[in-house]
Structure 1
């Protein structure tokens, strides 16, 4: 009888200690807690020819979506590629990770999605496929993939709650807010420390303009999500976003300094996912006219330290925001140059950069120079397709805010009123939406 992990997926080793470490790494990854990499390295130390452990390690690198992780992913793949003991599922994991290393994100996505479909109890494949749905703007997959996998699980079974949390986020990204909140709260009832489910419910409240309720929800559950080292910064970002809605700049900057950019201020290397959140928050503050002090300068240096321009357009755009916010046009120009070279090449990111990332980045550049008409001309046609290059609805809202500000400052009243009307319809009680509506010259709001 083949040996299996805790959820019944066949593995190519009989070493129970190594399998236990793989199970531990999977649980840490699903909970976004530290340190799945250390746990999987321990599995490899126990059994150096454990193909799934090497594939798992490669997959962790894939989920970083950073060029700096490619070499490590390739090393993990090479360590297992020719192992005669590897089973078909393990080999499929390796092949999907290899496609990512080669810049074919679509093929990698397809590979992990196929694994998730064929092995619905493979929570690692489910998680990586879910993240690719996020990275490549596939909202239907975010919602439907975990729902399909649930058919192979019993409600309440250990591991089932993680799928509920994934489904909750997918439902939210498809605008199914009531169902999303129900799924997220059900996941939390089963597993209170599911930081992804907390994050999904926070997204619902953000999209519905429930800023005071959202802040209270995150603050009340802080002990559940704050220890989630891999996702904590993003949930702190959500808390700051709720406070920003009502113009509480001091509270926003306090959260930014304490929890979002603590390492940035100290000059420590940061993952791109955290730098993206920092850029988006500071750019929103810039749009609101807040004094951000030296924070943009520190963030700009952190992006330069991270490097890797031209690998993933969504990250590149946020690097451009940071450099421009710091007044460092030369650094922004270097990123734009890397994006233009990427756009002229092959692979998934070349297309995403050409079609979405580059025009949006050039629009942000025009905005920073006060050329608001040009910013609107560049951004308005592309914004409806911005989902294609990743991020959540809440994250991409910084682009909508920039376009709305460009329309207002450039005197394009028709565009400003259209965008302000969309915002007030989505969030009728939002002070920010109401302020935009007034600035756009909208009529009196109904009581």
Structure 2
């Protein structure tokens, strides 16, 4: 009987297939390029290897091949007879996920990890800000993520993958200093872990360490394959720091090198392309830069192509921004009336807020955005990503001549911006 790196038995008679699976899992957990190829090799070596097909499905999901992922899950389900309870539960969770049942899948993950906590391709589904907890739309989801990873901690100990995701939970719950310590340990164990590099960038952002963050990320990314899943989003972090330092040459180099629609090797997921591009362009405008209309139009067109129907609320929030800035009233109106999605009740006022911002109706924008500010964490994403709402709200106050209130808002809601917010007219 062969085992994975976490001592779980694997139902394959091929040592080579088992080793390819282990390699593929590590690529998935580290967000490095090569997961699809490793998992494809595992099932080529043993076509009856059910978890190999699940691993292949997970890798294909990260490669944005959802049709291929569904087919791989179907192949795994067809081979589940006679497997262990763990493996059948593992497969069942992916069947739920691919059947469009995220609530049921999330609950099933919680049950699974009680018995088999060291099953990372299941455990990871509830981790991180884009996971099943992160995109649940539930109030208190940041605290739930920290409770979840804290409960798993005894089972993983000094594991490089687990340390990185636990560190992000700490960071998103207002403990970036402790998160940085944990992430540094993850990187000591495996410096190639793109998740740890990514979450280290978040911790440095939360601590206001612009220069240190930019230096670190610029150096680390020289060794990261541009086809890696996180290359575009890590470029987003680097571009934000370049913007804060006024280095627009570097900002546009990052944006045009793999962030904006149609740039780079095309490895980023559509949700990252849309949200990162829209957020970067708006953060640049907030900082006083002028953005060519063509850039906004490109992001708006991408949103219409990839997210035509409301339903993914984090994407919808950014799509509404792109449509408002590009002047696509029809697409924006659709989101302003959205009824689908885990946080549709927040998408609607935010869409109206972006529309008011585009008209420079600051009073209207403030009125639309204010109720959302109480719990915009329900959108999902990180604090850094949702700062486009925090900074826009502060911008409205500034434009209405309420600078003292804007500064109080920064001091109480986002202390990292209290002294120097990346917002024209704030200093």
Identify whether the pair has TM-score above 0.5, normalized to the shorter chain: yes
Give the structure 2 partner of residue 444 of structure 1. Answer: none
Please give the alpha-carbon distance, in whole angstroms, between the structure 2 residues aligned to 1:20 and 1:178.
Answer: 37
Please give the alpha-carbon distance, in whole angstroms, between the structure 1 residues aligned to 2:265 and 2:290.
Answer: 20
Give the structure 2 partner of residue 396 of structure 1. Answer: 386
Give the structure 2 partner of residue 120 of structure 1. Answer: 117
Please give the alpha-carbon distance, in whole angstroms, between the structure 1 residues aligned to 2:408 and 2:415.
Answer: 11
Secondary structure at the counterpart of residue 7 of structure 1: coil
Equivalences for 1:10-409 in 2 at 5 Å? 10-60=9-59, 69=66, 71-83=67-79, 84-130=81-127, 131-136=131-136, 138-153=141-156, 155=158, 160-225=159-224, 227=226, 229-261=228-260, 263-264=262-263, 271-293=270-292, 294-307=294-307, 309-336=309-336, 339-340=338-339, 342=340, 349=341, 351-354=342-345, 356-409=346-399
| 1:265 Cα offset (Å) | 8.3
Give the conservation status (yes or no) of the 8 Å contact 1:424–1:430.
Answer: no
Please give the alpha-carbon distance, in whole angstroms, between the structure 2 residues aligned to 1:114 and 1:16.
Answer: 30
Please give the alpha-carbon distance, in whole angstroms, between the structure 1 residues aligned to 2:334 and 2:350.
Answer: 16
| 1:72 Cα offset (Å) | 4.1
Change (3 A) 1:145 1:76: same
| 1:188 Cα offset (Å) | 1.0
* Aligned length in residues: 419
Could you list the runs of 5+ residues in structure 2 that have no partner in the other structure?
A: none
Change (3 A) 1:276 1:162: same
| 1:433 Cα offset (Å) | 6.6
| 1:429 Cα offset (Å) | 4.7
Question: TM-score, normalised on structure 1?
Answer: 0.84
Change (3 A) 1:427 1:373: closer
Output one character per residue of 1:28-73: Cα deviation in whole Å (capped at 9) or x when no partner: 1112112312322232222223221232344446668x8x83x444
Change (3 A) 1:321 1:60: farther
Output one character per residue of 1:96-142: Cα deviation in whole Å (capped at 9) or x when no partner: 23333344322222222333342222221232221333333732343
Secondary structure at the counterpart of residue 343 of structure 2: helix
Please give the alpha-carbon distance, in whole angstroms, between the structure 2 residues aligned to 1:7 and 1:89.
Answer: 13
Change (3 A) 1:266 1:112: closer
Give the conservation status (yes or no) of the 8 Å contact 1:142–1:169.
Answer: no
Give the conservation status (yes or no) of the 8 Å contact 1:172–1:203.
Answer: yes
Question: TM-score, normalised on structure 2?
Answer: 0.87
CA RMSD of aligned residues (A): 2.9
Change (3 A) 1:232 1:266: closer
| 1:191 Cα offset (Å) | 0.9
Give the conservation status (yes or no) of the 8 Å contact 1:310–1:335.
Answer: yes
